[in-house]
Amino acid sequence: MVSENELKKLVEQVLLEMTAKGTKAANKAENINLEEVEDGFIDDITEVDIKKQLLVPNPADAKGYLKMKQATPARLGIWRAGPRYKTETALRVRADHAAAQDSVFSYVSEEFLKEMNLFSVKTECIDKDEFITRPDLGKRINKEGIKAIKDNCKMRPQVQIYVSDGLSSAAIEANVRDVLPAMIQGLEGYKISVGTPFFLQNGRVGAMDVVSELLEADVTCVLIGERPGLVTAESMSAYIAYKATVNMPEARRTVVSNIHSGGTPPVEAGAHISEIIKIMLEKKASGVNLKL
């Protein structure tokens, strides 16, 4: 049996060792060269390709496990430390969650809109907080925006395309550079006239119905940021409708989703959307009424 005095000495020794280790770690942290950090001394954890990362120690079939990971963005093979995630996995989850939050609450930059030659209008949401809590206001364009659309856009186009941040500004800046030109080029190749593209801030999908009625477009298409997740914060969708009207059933919309570098590539998506619009105009239908 260990006596009480021996136990106290043992506890004191452990505490001393822990304190010494903590001091060494603190000293090491204080001596980090910030220039080295900026130059990549500390790796960006979000740049690691999860599909190629296997954290399970000594797997029975490493090749088979990695092959399975290639088929899904799910976090397979992350292992654990006792009942908890390993530190690397926990940090990656937090980093991906932070990226998702940033994509929702950030704004598309003015520089990007100038680069894409998109004039900007707003919905009735005054900020991102109201956009999240009042989806109904995100479906309405404010008075100044309605006037700007009427003043700057071509009336009665065959196809009206516009861009909206939706739930991910990051998705817009990551994909629109490739999707929008590919769409316009594809439609022009089909001899289909395209209206004047613009940008709608704090927009929900339903705002496309207002745009359709304002400009009397045959087909309206909105490129909009999807709700981000832990797999990607850069996924975008295209919602398309033939002669959309306010309060119409959601079933009248056709959707091309999962547009991003790890899903449907942006250029390919642009060409695909153009073909769908061509068929819409031919069949005068969209949503569940359109047989592709």
Under 8 Å CB-to-CB from 70, ≥6 apart: which residues? 51
287: left (phi over 0), alpha (psi -120 to 50) or beta: left
The model's pTM is 0.79
pLDDT of residue 22: 46
The 10s digit of each residue's pLDDT in 103-143 is 888 999 999 999 999 999 999 999 999 999 999 999 999 99
Q: Are 220 and 248 in contact (CB under 8 A)?
A: no
Start-to-end CA distance of the chain, whole Å, equals 80
The C-alpha atoms of residue 133 and residue 268 are separated, in whole angstroms, by 34
Answer whether residue 182 is part of any domain: yes
User: Six-digit token pair at 26?
Assistant: 């603190």
Answer whether residue 199 is part of any domain: yes
**Mean pLDDT, range 73-84, rounded to an integer:** 86
For residue 239, the 8-state DSSP code is E
pLDDT of residue 23: 44
The C-alpha atoms of residue 186 and residue 50 are separated, in whole angstroms, by 35
Residue 141: CB atoms within 10 A of its CB come to 21
Could you list the residue range(s) of the whole structural domain that residue 253 is in? 110-289
Report the percentage of the chain scoring pLDDT > 70.
86
pLDDT of residue 16: 60
| Whether the predicted pLDDT of 189 surpasses 70 | yes
- Return the SS3 of 84: strand
The C-alpha atoms of residue 17 and residue 12 are separated, in whole angstroms, by 9
The C-alpha atoms of residue 10 and residue 254 are separated, in whole angstroms, by 70
pLDDT of residue 137: 97
Q: Are 233 and 170 in contact (CB under 8 A)?
A: yes
Answer whether residue 185 is part of any domain: yes
pLDDT of residue 156: 97
pLDDT of residue 27: 44
pLDDT of residue 1: 57
The 10s digit of each residue's pLDDT in 56-78 is 888 899 899 889 988 887 888 88
Amino acid letter at 285?
A
Lowest mean pLDDT among 9-13, 50-54, 249-253, 261-265: 9-13
**Mean pLDDT, range 279-290, rounded to an integer:** 97
Answer whether residue 97 is part of any domain: no
Answer whether residue 87 is part of any domain: no
The C-alpha atoms of residue 172 and residue 63 are separated, in whole angstroms, by 36
Question: What pLDDT band is residue 50 in, cutting at 50, 70 and 90?
Answer: confident
For residue 141, what are the β-bridge partners? 123
pLDDT of residue 186: 97
Answer whether residue 277 is part of any domain: yes
Under 8 Å CB-to-CB from 84, ≥6 apart: which residues? 90
| Whether the predicted pLDDT of 34 surpasses 80 | no
pLDDT of residue 215: 97
The C-alpha atoms of residue 50 and residue 281 are separated, in whole angstroms, by 42
Q: Are 245 and 212 in contact (CB under 8 A)?
A: yes
pLDDT of residue 236: 97
The C-alpha atoms of residue 208 and residue 222 are separated, in whole angstroms, by 7
Answer whether residue 101 is part of any domain: no
CATH number of the domain enclosing 183 = 3.40.50.11240
Which element (helix H / strand E) includes 234? none
Question: What pLDDT band is residue 229 in, cutting at 50, 70 and 90?
Answer: confident
Q: How many domains does the chain have?
A: 1
Which element (helix H / strand E) includes 160? strand 159-164
Mean pLDDT of the chain: 88
Answer whether residue 105 is part of any domain: no
CA-to-CA separations, 273 to 30, 104, 159, in angstroms, rounded:
54, 25, 12
